[in-house]
Amino acid sequence: MSTPESAEKPVYVEGQSHLESLVSDNDVVVVDYYADWCGPCKMLEPTLEELAAETDAVVAKLDIDEHQQLAQSAGVRSVPTLEFYANGEAAERVVGVQEKSALESMVSQLSS
């Protein structure tokens, strides 16, 4: 069910309707709630770029400062927060820097 959005690079969320279409149009989506000033977010960035390139998951980056309302309505209290969606439904949430292998494992489980 891939769309042109499922590039091999992270996609930057432009607003609520963009986020909703990413989640509904793709099998597995990883939403990265981040902030430019967040050190751990910067540490996680190369891992998420690899995840986008090496898996079928769409990695969607959502700047919590630019989209405060979206982050607030999602209940994001700290960054980085990763929200995993499978087939349009929220499936898993993790907070903080994660190992690439753990993220790949989650994507693999949600893809099956």
Q: Which of 100, 82, 102 is nearest to 92 (CA)?
A: 82
**Are the CB atoms for 41 and 76 separated by under 8 Å?**
no
**Are the CB atoms for 27 and 86 separated by under 8 Å?**
yes
Q: Which of 41, 57, 64, 106 is catalytic?
A: 41
| Most distant CA atoms of the chain, gap in Å | 35
Q: Distances in Å between the alpha carbon of 15 and those of 5, 56, 58, 69, 106?
A: 14, 23, 16, 10, 25
Q: Which of 5, 18, 27, 38 is catalytic?
A: 38
Identify whether 38 is a catalytic site residue. Answer: yes
Identify whether 51 is a catalytic site residue. Answer: no
- Name the residues annotated as catalytic: 38, 41
